[in-house]
Amino acid sequence: MFPRRVTAVLAPGQGSQAPGMFSPWLELDGTRDRLRQWSDRAGLDLVHLGTEADADTIQDTAIAQPLIVALSLLAYGEIERQNLVPSDTPVAGHSVGELAAAAIAGVLAPEEAVALAAVRGAEMAKACAIEPTSMAAVMLGEPERVVAWLADHGLAAANQNGAGQIVASGAADAIERIVAEPLEGTKVRALKVAGAFHTSYMAPAEEALREHAAGISPADPNRPLLSNADGSVVTSGAEYLARLVKQVTSPVRWDLTMDGLASLGVTGTVELPPAGTLTGLVKRQLKDVVTKPIALKTPENLAQLADQEDAR
């Protein structure tokens, strides 16, 4: 007997958005109706923003975050409708993608996740405007050495993404210095972001998000739901919601999340749209355990997932 194939669902984070990314998904039955309902909850015209808005508009943190969560959940709705993955498949999200993951695991209703993403994005955008901050990607280098080097510059390792990538976050002038003078053996690239995400600079956003989350009654996850904080599986909805709030000022440990996926026996992944970034990380770090990870960019890619599941 062949071992059971375990496919995990991955929800991407900010930076993966692109103009017109909703367009191919709006051809599917019911998607426009769902988006209208979510738009009402989020206070944004998600259909317009996901089909007609330009790159500069959707770069705005307040818009990018609810857009990404909404698109991921639209696509997962189609996966669920076609019964393309088992109901107990593990799920994990990167940064704001954890809101989509929470909805997929039943912790939040989809409309709650999109509305919470809108609050998160708007409050983080406000926090970014308080003082000049930024982020930069540090490629290569030994992780512990890179983290220590960043600390010496007063910067945080906001995202430890694995596969040789760490994202630095903090004061804009400190980011400029590490871009100009990288640590030996590394490459550093400034990122086009509004500010220092996942650091204490986002404390006002965390507090606002906590106040909003107080009105939500989360359910316990209905499948393995991994946390960015440490890669562990969280079994309490209340704990996961608390982690979602705290995550705004805490590092994203995607490296540990991928380790957690491996420990669950995951042999395949499907990244929800706007897909690509997480699939690239999986290909590099989990190449020995995950075969043929799928980046679900358009509805046409659903056939790849169907074929893979049929081959179980």
Show the tokens assigned to 135.
Answer: 């982020």
Contact between 195 and 249 (Cβ < 8 Å): no
Q: Is the pLDDT of residue 162 over 70?
A: yes
Q: Is the pLDDT of residue 227 over 70?
A: yes
User: Would you put residue 114 in left (φ > 0), alpha (ψ -120 to 50) or beta?
Assistant: alpha
Report the alpha-carbon distance of residue 214 to residue 127 in Å, rounded: 20
pLDDT of residue 192: 87
Number of Cα atoms under 13 Å in the Cβ half of residue 128:
20
Q: How many CB atoms lie within 10 A of CB 3?
A: 7
pLDDT of residue 75: 96
Residues 94, 231, single domain; the answer is yes
Contact between 279 and 295 (Cβ < 8 Å): yes
Residues 253, 147, single domain; the answer is no
With DSSP H G I counted as helix, E B as strand and the rest as coil, what are the percentages for the chain, rounded to 5? Answer: 50, 15, 35
Report the alpha-carbon distance of residue 244 to residue 242 in Å, rounded: 5
Closest Cα to residue 103, out of 62, 72, 65, 67?
Answer: 72
- Per the domain annotation, does 87 fall within a domain? yes
pLDDT of residue 94: 97
> The domain containing residue 64 runs over which residues?
7-127+199-310
**Residues of 208-233 as b/e, b for ≥16 C-beta within 10 angstroms?**
bbeeebeebebbebebbbbbbbebee
Residues 265, 171, single domain; the answer is no
Contact between 161 and 254 (Cβ < 8 Å): yes
Per-residue pLDDT reduced to its tens digit, 188-214:
999 988 999 999 999 999 999 999 999
CATH number for the domain spanning 54: value is 3.40.366.10
Share of the chain above pLDDT 90, in %: 91
Report the alpha-carbon distance of residue 94 to residue 12 in Å, rounded: 5
Residues 123, 140, single domain; the answer is no
Residues 180, 241, single domain; the answer is no
What total number of domains does the chain contain? 2
Q: Is the pLDDT of residue 46 over 60?
A: yes
Q: Which residue has the higher pLDDT, 102 or 141?
A: 102
Residues 51, 26, single domain; the answer is yes
Amino acid at 147: V
Q: Is the pLDDT of residue 310 over 60?
A: no
Per-residue pLDDT reduced to its tens digit, 235-268:
999 999 999 999 999 999 999 999 999 999 999 9
Residues 141, 170, single domain; the answer is yes
Q: What is the CA radius of gyration of the chain?
A: 19
Report the alpha-carbon distance of residue 31 to residue 226 in Å, rounded: 27
3-state secondary structure of 153: coil
- Per the domain annotation, does 2 fall within a domain? no
From residue 58, give the alpha-carbon distance in Å to each of 15, 55, 61, 132: 10, 5, 8, 21
CATH number for the domain spanning 148: value is 3.30.70.250
Show the tokens assigned to 223.
Answer: 């499948």
pLDDT of residue 269: 96
Residues marked active site are found at 95, 198
Report the mean per-residue pLDDT for the chain: 94
- Residue 162: φ, ψ to 5°: 75, 180
pLDDT of residue 312: 53
Per-residue pLDDT reduced to its tens digit, 277-298:
999 999 999 999 998 899 999 9
Task: Give me the residues paired with residue 37 across strands.
Answer: none
Per-residue pLDDT reduced to its tens digit, 62-97:
999 999 999 999 999 999 999 999 999 999 999 999
Residues 123, 139, single domain; the answer is no
Contact between 92 and 226 (Cβ < 8 Å): yes
Residues 178, 213, single domain; the answer is no
pLDDT of residue 105: 98
Show the tokens assigned to 63.
Answer: 């818009």
